[in-house]
Amino acid sequence: MKSFRILLMSAALMPALLVCCNHHAFAQADGQTSGSQQSYAQRSFDLMKSFAGEWQGAVAAEPPSPMVPAGTQVHVTMRITSRGNALVHEMQAPGTPLDPTKYDHPVTMIYLDGGQLNLVHYCDAGNRPHMIARPSADGKTIEFDFVDLSGGNQFGHMYHAVFTAVDANHHTEDWTFMMPGDKPMHAHMDLKRVN
C-alpha cells in the first residue's frame, strides 16, 4: 500500500517537475546563444543552421570515378531539429524515392557538444565517422576533421568535410571519402537553394 501512495504522489508531482525541467532546458538553450561573445563553434553552428532548406547541384569527383559520372546531380536537404540543437543533412539523387533498399541516402547529424561543433555521418558504407570542426579565418568556411569511427571499415569511410557559404542561396560542400587502402576520393558539390 505504501508503494502505491508513493506512486500516486510521484504522478501528482510529475507535471510540476516537467515544467521545471523544460524551463531549465529553455534557459540553458537561450544562454548558449545570448551575449556578445559567441564561441567559434556556436557561430559556425549558426551558419550551418542558415543552410536549412532544399539544395541541388552538380557533383564532381576527384579522381574521376564511374560511381560519380560527369554531370551527376545531388539533392541535399538540411533541417533544424531537436529545438535547434541539431541539424540533419540528407543526400540523395534527385527524383529518387526515399527507399534505402535501392538508393543511397546518407544522413549526417551536426550538433554542439562541449564547446565543439561535431558531425556524425551515418554512411551507406555501414559506419559512422565522427568529425569536429576547426576554426577558420574567413568565418564562411566550416571544416570538419576526422576524429574516430564506429562500425566496420571494409568499404572505407568519410574522412573530411568542408562547408563554404557563398551567399544565402549558394553554398559548396567538399567531402573526402577514404577508400580501402587509404586512397582518398574527393567530391565537390556546388549547391543552389531550391526551397
Helices 2-33 and 40-49 cross at an angle (nearest 10°) of 90
Phi/psi at 107 (nearest 5 deg)? -120, 135
Asked if 56 and 170 count as a contact pair (C-beta separation under 8 A), the reply is no
The reported pLDDT for the residue numbered 69 is 83
Q: Which residues in the chain land under pLDDT 50?
A: 1-37
Cα–Cα dist 168/48, whole Å: 11
For the entire predicted model, the pTM comes to 0.79
The reported pLDDT for the residue numbered 194 is 97
Cα–Cα dist 62/184, whole Å: 9
User: Any alpha helices (H) in 34-117, and if so which ranges?
Assistant: 40-49
Q: Among 63, 83, 59, which Cα is nearest to 71's?
A: 59
The reported pLDDT for the residue numbered 136 is 86
The reported pLDDT for the residue numbered 179 is 94
Please return the burial class of 113, using the count of CB atoms within 10 Å of its CB with bins 0-12, 13-18 and 19+.
exposed
Q: Among 153, 148, 119, which Cα is nearest to 133's?
A: 119
The reported pLDDT for the residue numbered 8 is 33
The reported pLDDT for the residue numbered 17 is 35
